[in-house]
């Protein structure tokens, strides 16, 4: 498998392609994201065990959205089955648990480091006790500092794991080796990922302006709220859909590996190899 170094401008194309996917099947992607959000909320009811389960499952969830993109590219409807497709083979379940465990360990490390360099748990507890609404939390300097440190420390973790689900599932590469290849691919294409992140920041700013406009133009709070929630879910779905293009553009196609988005998907009935070649 050969790494491809793409120009920085490709980051814009990745974001645009993700948005286009969600334009092609908006209800499919929003429904998939809503189902995932519901499952996450149900697991979070289990408190610490639920939180661990959510973090461990994150790489497989990223893979599910990439599989959903493949469905759209094949002119098929998105099905909730993409959520369980990565787990079907017994050997894959073990690998997903291994990869999820590595991601959970990295996430825990980010939390611990952020408490050392930023506000500690005691400071955060005081803020949570003193705040009455979410707006108070978002305007508190301690909370903002904590969020900034966690985002900064989580960025290298995210980039290191970025390509691992596809490399492991489609490329059949062991989790640790996939993690190494993913980190190298992200570093070599850092310029494209910086543009990619900047584009999504611009989308979020535009989303905030749209929400304010909706609140101003629509006098019915319930209708405005529904539109706002749907728009937010659509943007989040577009981001996860764009993961596919960030992955397949960074590695040279090969028969047993990853193919670029210009290649036809191999998810039809004639391809029974567990959908592992893009």
The pTM of this model reads: 0.81
Report the candidate in 55, 64, 106 with the shortest Cα–Cα distance to residue 87: 64
How far apart are alpha carbons 258 and 248 in whole angstroms? 6
Decide if 208 is inside a domain: yes
Residue 54: its pLDDT value, please?
93
Residue 114: its pLDDT value, please?
78
> 242 near 15, Cβ under 8 Å?
yes
Residue 8: its pLDDT value, please?
94
Encoded tokens for 32: 């998939």
Decide if 59 is inside a domain: yes
For 92-106, what is each residue's pLDDT tens digit?
999 999 999 999 999
Encoded tokens for 235: 């943007």
Residue 136: its pLDDT value, please?
47
pLDDT beneath 70, residues of the chain: 1, 118-147, 253-278
Q: How many domains does the chain have?
A: 1
Residue 135: its pLDDT value, please?
45
Decide if 100 is inside a domain: yes
Decide if 199 is inside a domain: yes
> 4 near 249, Cβ under 8 Å?
yes
Decide if 273 is inside a domain: no
State the residue range of the domain holding 224.
10-248
CA trace torsion 133, 135, 137, 143 (10° rounding): 170
Residue 246: its pLDDT value, please?
94
Decide if 2 is inside a domain: no
Decide if 277 is inside a domain: no
How far apart are alpha carbons 180 and 168 in whole angstroms? 11
CA trace torsion 241, 245, 246, 249 (10° rounding): 170
Residue 180: its pLDDT value, please?
94
> 128 near 135, Cβ under 8 Å?
no
Q: How far is CA 265 from CA 32, 157, 171, 221, in A?
A: 20, 29, 15, 43
Decide if 124 is inside a domain: yes
């Amino acid at each position: 498998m050969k790494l491809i170094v793409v120009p920085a401008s490709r980051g814009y194309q990745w974001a645009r392609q993700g948005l286009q996917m969600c334009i092609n099947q908006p209800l499919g992607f929003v429904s998939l994201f809503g189902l995932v959000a519901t499952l996450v909320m149900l697991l979070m009811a289990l408190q610490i065990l639920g939180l661990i389960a959510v973090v461990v499952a994150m790489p497989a969830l990223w893979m599910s959205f990439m599989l959903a993109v493949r469905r759209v590219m094949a002119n098929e409807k998105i099905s909730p089955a993409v959520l369980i497709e990565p787990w079907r083979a017994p050997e894959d379940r073990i690998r997903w648990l291994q990869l999820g465990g590595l991601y959970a360990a990295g996430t825990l490390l980010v939390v611990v480091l952020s408490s050392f360099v930023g506000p500690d748990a005691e400071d955060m507890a005081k803020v949570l006790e003193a705040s009455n609404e979410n707006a108070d939390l978002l305007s508190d300097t301690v909370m903002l500092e904590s969020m900034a440190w966690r985002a900064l420390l989580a960025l290298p973790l995210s980039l290191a794991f970025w390509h691992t689900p596809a490399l492991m599932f489609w490329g059949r590469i062991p989790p640790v080796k996939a993690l190494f290849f993913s980190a190298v691919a992200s570093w070599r294409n850092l310029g494209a990922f910086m543009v990619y992140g900047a584009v999504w920041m611009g989308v979020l700013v535009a989303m905030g302006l749209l929400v304010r406009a909706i609140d101003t133009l629509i006098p019915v709070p319930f209708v405005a709220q529904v539109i706002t929630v749907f728009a937010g879910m659509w943007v989040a779905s577009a981001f996860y859909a764009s993961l596919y293009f960030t992955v397949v553009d960074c590695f040279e196609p090969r028969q047993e590996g990853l193919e670029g988005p210009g290649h036809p998907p191999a998810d039809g009935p004639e391809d029974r190899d567990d959908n592992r070649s893009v």
